[in-house]
């Protein structure tokens, strides 16, 4: 679908799995967690219970590694009927700490795209998750110099975006959002009248999956971030 970007002045980028790899490490952690708990349940059951615990805890902990760590601990206690050992709990915490300290791996072409766009557009980061962790990753990425503003949102719903654009004095018609999640980075923006580009990552968290999108919904899908440059 051909989309007109001629009015765009500000471009927002999601961070995790749009600028750098993230979900892959969560999947690896889930595998480790299942191995630690294999004496209590099947892998499929462990995966299901951990996901349910994450969703249950979102309102309390929000998104990010720290909430994931706490959900792993709580799920381990439930799956084991509170028989899980202190040693296993320690290993779960170590999984989380490794995730928090993992080097940032940029996705292909990210820095080149930002270098190209920064002279023509105001670039901002709009991500969700733990504030300290996201700030740390941005600093480690070496990309902070390209962005005029960084915002870590508690969630990415229409109201969150509308409030932020108003606060930053950005006209909806002049804003383009680029991200890997249809649910969080694309559909809410289209629904408020902004433009959005979907850059799918090969792995998507179950909570971010969208079953069906209306054929009349106007957004563009590209396979890598570099593909957006010719359109702008």
Which CATH number fits the domain 23-101, given the four candidates 1.10.15.40, 2.60.40.1930, 1.10.150.240, 2.40.50.200? Answer: 1.10.150.240
- 2's CB contacts (< 8 A; 6+ apart) are none
Q: Which residue intervals of the chain bear CATH 1.10.150.240?
A: 23-101
* Residue 158, SS3 per DSSP: helix
Sheet strands (E) in 21-137: 122-128
Q: What is the dihedral of CA 121, 127, 131, 132, to 10 degrees?
A: -70
pLDDT in tens, 124-155: 999 988 888 899 999 999 999 999 999 998 88
Q: What are the residue ranges of CATH 3.40.50.1000 in the chain? A: 10-20+104-231
How do residues 77-129 score in pLDDT, each as one tens digit?
A: 999 999 999 999 999 999 999 999 999 999 999 999 999 999 999 999 999 88
- Tell me what pLDDT residue 218 has: 81
The correct answer on CATH 3.40.50.300 for the domain covering 10-20+104-231 is no
Q: For residues 53 and 70, is the Cβ–Cβ distance under 8 A?
A: no
């Amino acid at each position: 679908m051909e989309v007109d970007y001629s009015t765009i002045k500000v471009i927002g980028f999601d961070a995790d799995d749009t600028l750098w790899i993230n979900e892959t490490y969560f999947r690896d952690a889930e595998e480790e967690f299942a191995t630690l708990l294999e004496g209590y349940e099947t892998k499929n059951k462990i995966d299901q219970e951990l996901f349910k615990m994450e969703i249950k805890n979102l309102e309390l902990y929000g998104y990010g590694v720290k909430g994931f760590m706490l959900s792993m601990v709580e799920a381990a206690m439930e799956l084991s009927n509170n028989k899980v050992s202190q040693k296993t709990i320690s290993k779960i915490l170590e999984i989380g700490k490794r995730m928090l300290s993992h080097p940032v791996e940029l996705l292909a072409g990210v820095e080149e795209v930002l270098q190209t766009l920064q002279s023509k557009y105001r670039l901002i980061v709009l991500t969700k998750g733990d504030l300290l962790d996201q700030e740390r990753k941005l600093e480690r990425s070496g990309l902070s110099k390209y962005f005029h503003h960084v915002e870590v949102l508690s969630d990415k719903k229409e109201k969150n975006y509308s409030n932020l654009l108003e606060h930053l004095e950005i006209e909806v018609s002049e804003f383009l959002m680029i991200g890997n999640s249809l649910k969080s980075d694309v559909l809410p923006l289209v629904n408020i009248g902004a433009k959005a580009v979907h850059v799918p990552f090969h792995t998507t968290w179950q909570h971010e999956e969208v079953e069906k999108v209306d054929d009349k919904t106007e957004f563009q899908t590209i396979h890598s971030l570099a593909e957006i440059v010719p359109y702008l």
